[in-house]
Amino acid sequence: MRSVKSMRFSDIDNVLVLPEGGEAGQRIEDAGFVDGASVISEDIPAWHKVACEPIASGSPIIKHGYPIGSSIADILPGAWVHVHNAAERPGAGWRMPPGRMRPSDGDRYARPGESSLKFRGYRREEGRPGVRNDLWVISSAGYAGGRLGEIVRDYHGQYWMDSVKIIEHPSNCPHLRRGFDFPEAILSGFTSNPNAAGVLLIVSEDEEIEPEAVHDLTSDRSPRVLALRNPGPTEIAEYLDRLGGDAPRVREDFSISSLCVGIKPTGGDPRDILPANLLMGRFSDWFVSRGGTILSVAPPETLAFEDIVAARILKGTTLDEFMSFSKLYKRHAKEDRELTLSSRDIEEGLTTITEKILLTSEGSGRSPITAVLRRGDRVRDLGGVQITYASDDDLASSTALTSGGVQIILSVAEEGACVRAVVPTIEISSEWRTSKARHEWTGFGASVPLNGEMPGDTPEGLDKLAEYIFLVASGDERTRQEKTGSSPDRVHRNP
């Protein structure tokens, strides 16, 4: 009887995942089984879990290096682990046994000489360098009867500028209340993003805001930011020329510490998103271990599982900041966002809500969290992984990451959806067939990691992804969206 392939997420896990499932009597290909007990004792569906060591009733079930629940019966090695013998872990007083906290895998992926990695970007007078030399036009959807796109397309800018991008509320945005509805912090974050060499703020005739008031929010960035009320096409072109004329014309070398990459993990069917989330997580660990900064976004409802984040915070002040934010969100939440497992989740092998949250959190890796940002906050000069929260919506997530100051975004490619962002965005698919079918959007494919191999070890793994990201950052490579002109021009939604 042929052996069965398995996936292990951490050396301290006491369960494995079987991507292809298995039948009773089959042997499992994994060196981590206790006492060599590697035979499946019962039929197990694809993508479900199998115990790789004895788990006594009431003991924690460890996956992703973290307790996802506790057993409600004694479980022997080779047994199927699911809702019939496992349940959500007890309350907040229950903690990971001492000495079993999951480690960061950053050092595992170190390569000789990578501490001196550089990319070529555009110097800004303040903050990080830009990886693109863009002009951004920010307006509400109602300006000029929706003709702003046509006006900008007719504009021919200076040769050293990469592009002109429009940032506006979509006309059907449910958050749109009063025309120019950029919260002040979000607006300030957008005008500070280093990819924008200049920003033109356009206020239409019927909006209840004065251009001067908008400009006051960004006065420290003048003359990079200009504001106009109801301008005509000629006036727009003149002001874009003025902004472009002040922009740098050549790229310079910058260290990896000047680069901030945004990460948008996602949840769902493990077979669709797990390999991509894991690959992003491996990149995150590698990147911060070399001095880079990661800003990862998560839906606010995950704050109900605050100890998953708290376990990665090493500094007391950062932990206090996170707990304060968590309490504030819970107090002001307008609706009950309690997470539950659907019948499809259970069918796909997810046993507890904690397991589902961890599946998403793998996308930000396992390195320490150095800062927790509120809406509109910008990344801090701390390095490491920093997190922010936004609704699980592509527009909201890209808004949070862009206003946070990221220069590049990594996201999981989902069937039937395309991430819309104004900064270069690399979508990673879990299957190469998905990548090929959506070649105009998907920039990278992650293969399924098996038998101890994580995506960082595969041919289309960490090495190639890191190389591709640095090529994109230096302008030597364009994302698929940029190459095909598929990058959308309506890219803002309140987080």
Rounded Cα–Cα distance for residues 201 and 137 (Å): 6
Q: Which residues contact 437 (CB under 8 A, 6 or more apart)?
A: none
Fold match between 1-98 and 134-247?
no
Q: Which residues contact 138 (CB under 8 A, 6 or more apart)?
A: 167, 168, 182, 187, 190, 191, 199, 200, 201, 202, 492
pLDDT confidence of residue 307: 79
pLDDT confidence of residue 29: 73
pTM given for the model: 0.85
Closest C-alpha among 305, 234, 296, 303 to residue 264: 296
Rounded Cα–Cα distance for residues 458 and 449 (Å): 8
pLDDT confidence of residue 187: 78
Amino acid symbol at 217: L
Strands 48-51 and 15-18: antiparallel
* pLDDT tens digits in sequence order for the chain, 495 residues long: 678 888 888 888 899 999 889 999 998 876 566 555 578 999 999 999 999 899 999 999 999 888 899 999 999 999 999 999 999 875 444 454 443 344 444 444 444 444 568 999 999 988 899 999 999 988 865 565 567 777 777 787 888 988 888 887 544 343 333 433 446 677 778 888 999 999 988 876 665 555 555 555 544 555 578 877 778 888 888 889 989 988 999 999 999 999 999 998 877 677 777 888 888 888 999 899 889 999 999 877 677 777 788 888 888 888 888 888 777 766 655 544 566 788 888 998 999 988 888 888 888 888 889 999 887 788 998 789 999 888 777 778 888 899 999 999 998 876 545 566 889 998 887 764 444 444 444 456 665 555 444 444 454 578 888 888 999 999 999 887 787 665 544 444 445
pLDDT confidence of residue 227: 76
Could you identify the residue written with the tokens 């229950």? 94
Q: Which CATH number fits domain 134-247: 1.10.357, 3.30.70, 3.40.50, 1.25.40?
A: 3.40.50
Task: Give me the torsion for CA of 468, 469, 471, 476, rounded to 10°.
Answer: 100
Rounded Cα–Cα distance for residues 326 and 307 (Å): 11
Q: Residues, the chain, total?
A: 495
Rounded Cα–Cα distance for residues 71 and 203 (Å): 59
pLDDT confidence of residue 469: 93
Q: 3-state DSSP: the chain helix, strand, coil percent, rounded to 5?
A: 30, 20, 45
pLDDT confidence of residue 277: 86
Q: Where do the structural domains in the chain lie, given as residue ranges?
A: 1-98, 134-247, 254-484
* 269 close to 19: Cβ distance less than 8 angstroms: no
User: Which two tokens mark 194?
Assistant: 């280093």
Q: Which CATH number fits domain 1-98: 3.40.50.970, 2.60.120.10, 2.30.130.110, 3.30.1520.10?
A: 2.30.130.110
